[in-house]
Amino acid sequence: MRRLMTPRFSPLEGGLFSSVSKADVGEGAGELIKAGVDVMAWADPFFPDPSIPASVQTVMAEAVASGLPSHYTMPIGSADLRGVIAGKLGTRNGITADPSRNILVTPGSDSGLLYAMMPFLEQGDEVLVPDPSYPSNFANCRLLGAVPVSVPLRAEDGYQLDPAALEAALTPRTKMVLISHPNNPTGTVFRRDTLEALARFVVAHDLILVCDQAFEDHVFDNIEMVSPATLPGMWERTVTVFSVSKGLGLSGFRVGYLVADDRIMDVLYGGAVNVLGATSTLSQIGAAAALKDETILPAYFDILDRRRRLAHAAFSAVPGVRMQMPESGILSWLDIRALGTATEVSAHILRTARVLVNEGEPYGAEGAGHLRIVHGCFMDETRAVDAYSRIAGALQLLSRDSQLLPA
């Protein structure tokens, strides 16, 4: 029945009739996990180790025992969680938000991201997307009939967005700029001057900014984390996408939230039941508990700061691998063009090191010859470091074969 589908959907492949390389399609990584492979291809902190904090477990256990989370919250999210989120937005993002007018809880930030884009995009509209970035940033445009236009990020610029590249990509059909900030997969935190230039561009050309801040919670080296919605002229034209998946290590809860001006939010509230339904009540209770516990983020910050250094030391020591120190989060981004294609090198790592990593191509044209490795896996640091070593060992073999190393 593909012939009855729209051209936006009919090209999609779920792995049932062809092999697909994306780890998140069909059974994808599921089969490999069963076969004992270490999966470092999910942006899922501490996977596969237990990681619900004790304080959150207590609150959720009480909720289960009450028997009450069988019931819906309002489609826009529970008032309690929205209140907690408003507090966090004030303290940590510098955003003054009314919980009943500016916040919409979503069942994870994936559906939140698509919903943030949906009201604005018409067939043929163009969306400027930094390249590389999260695969959905490109795919979502196509699903909505719009055209993603790549704006290259260069290693030599530290993967900062180049205002001149934005201007060069602008056409009369440009409707939106869509960024992940910090960026997935590069971990880049866009600096204030970059974002101020972006804001001037967005305002000058009457565009919408969708800014996915799923990775905002762990920004290292005292780099300033600026929310573009706080910049002049941007509040009324920005939809910001947040998540508890990454920072709080609660990806399985599927809780995200959108923040926007009430004139945008009136429309998003109006369609919430149709597009999103509502978010799991128990997950909302757990997310509120996690946001309230101020000990979680600092503890994870220290763990993940150490991990990125260990991962960087292991991977960047291999001749032929180029990698910058991650500025945020849980992701390593490796340029392995000297060793082979991403398909070749990831297959070699899977075979030799028994680790699944991400090929770079789904992250955009600039992702060719790159790998994304989720170094924030495992709660157990020994296991994480062992996996880094096995990956590095596999890369070393390729490096030697490529005569980049003396045999």
Whether the CB-CB separation of 336 and 392 falls below 8 Å is answered with no
Using the rule CB under 8 A, is 273 a contact of a copy of itself? yes
Using the rule CB under 8 A, is 263 a contact of a copy of itself? yes
Minimal distance, residue 117 CB to a copy of itself, in Å? 10
Using the rule CB under 8 A, is 25 a contact of a copy of itself? yes
Residue of the chain from 167, 266, 302, 401 that contacts a copy of itself (CB under 8 A)? 266
Using the rule CB under 8 A, is 74 a contact of a copy of itself? yes
- Residue whose tokens read 């029945």: 1
User: Measured between alpha carbons, how far is 372 from 74 in angstroms, rounded to an integer?
Assistant: 38
Using the rule CB under 8 A, is 279 a contact of a copy of itself? yes
Minimal distance, residue 260 CB to a copy of itself, in Å? 9
Using the rule CB under 8 A, is 358 a contact of a copy of itself? no
Which of 250, 182, 169, 245 has its CA nearest to residue 211?
Answer: 182
- Total residues contacting a copy of itself by CB under 8 A comes to 99
Based on CB atoms, which residue is closest to a copy of itself, 44 or 335?
Answer: 44
Using the rule CB under 8 A, is 65 a contact of a copy of itself? yes
User: Measured between alpha carbons, how far is 359 from 368 in angstroms, rounded to an integer?
Assistant: 8
Mode of pairing for the β-strands spanning 355-356 and 38-39 = parallel
User: Measured between alpha carbons, how far is 192 from 188 in angstroms, rounded to an integer?
Assistant: 12
Based on CB atoms, which residue is closest to a copy of itself, 63 or 404?
Answer: 63
Instruction: Give all strands (DSSP E) within 298-382, no chain letters.
Output: 322-323, 331-335, 355-356, 358-359, 370-374
Using the rule CB under 8 A, is 70 a contact of a copy of itself? yes
Residue of the chain from 40, 93, 120, 304 that contacts a copy of itself (CB under 8 A)? 120
Using the rule CB under 8 A, is 253 a contact of a copy of itself? yes
Using the rule CB under 8 A, is 407 a contact of a copy of itself? no
Whether the CB-CB separation of 392 and 352 falls below 8 Å is answered with no
**152 cis-preceded (ω within 30 degrees of 0):** no
Minimal distance, residue 172 CB to a copy of itself, in Å? 14
Q: Which stretch binds a copy of itself (CB under 8 A): 42-50, 163-171, 292-300, 326-334?
A: 42-50
Q: Which stretch binds a copy of itself (CB under 8 A): 100-108, 158-166, 291-299, 313-321?
A: 100-108
Query: How far is CA 159 from each of CA 257, 326, 353, 379, rounded to the nearest angstrom?
Result: 27, 11, 29, 29
Using the rule CB under 8 A, is 277 a contact of a copy of itself? yes
Residue of the chain from 196, 261, 344, 386 that contacts a copy of itself (CB under 8 A)? 261
> HSE on the CB side for 303, CA within 13 Å?
24
Using the rule CB under 8 A, is 251 a contact of a copy of itself? yes
Find the binding residues for a copy of itself in span 322-341 (CB under 8 A).
none
Q: Which stretch binds a copy of itself (CB under 8 A): 2-10, 226-234, 309-317, 334-342?
A: 2-10
Question: 3 CB contacts (<8 Å, ≥6 apart)?
Answer: 10
Six token digits for residue 173 = 């059909």
Whether the CB-CB separation of 209 and 174 falls below 8 Å is answered with no
DSSP string, 92-150: II-----TTTTEEEESSHHHHHHHHHTTT--TT-EEEEEES--HHHHHHHHHTT-EEEE
Using the rule CB under 8 A, is 79 a contact of a copy of itself? yes
Minimal distance, residue 332 CB to a copy of itself, in Å? 20
Using the rule CB under 8 A, is 100 a contact of a copy of itself? yes
Residue of the chain from 143, 170, 223, 303 that contacts a copy of itself (CB under 8 A)? 143
User: Measured between alpha carbons, how far is 366 from 238 in angstroms, rounded to an integer?
Assistant: 26
Q: Which stretch binds a copy of itself (CB under 8 A): 132-140, 184-192, 331-339, 382-390?
A: 132-140
Find the binding residues for a copy of itself in span 159-218 (CB under 8 A).
175, 206, 208
Whether the CB-CB separation of 137 and 148 falls below 8 Å is answered with yes
Minimal distance, residue 269 CB to a copy of itself, in Å? 3
Using the rule CB under 8 A, is 1 a contact of a copy of itself? yes
Six token digits for residue 282 = 């128990």
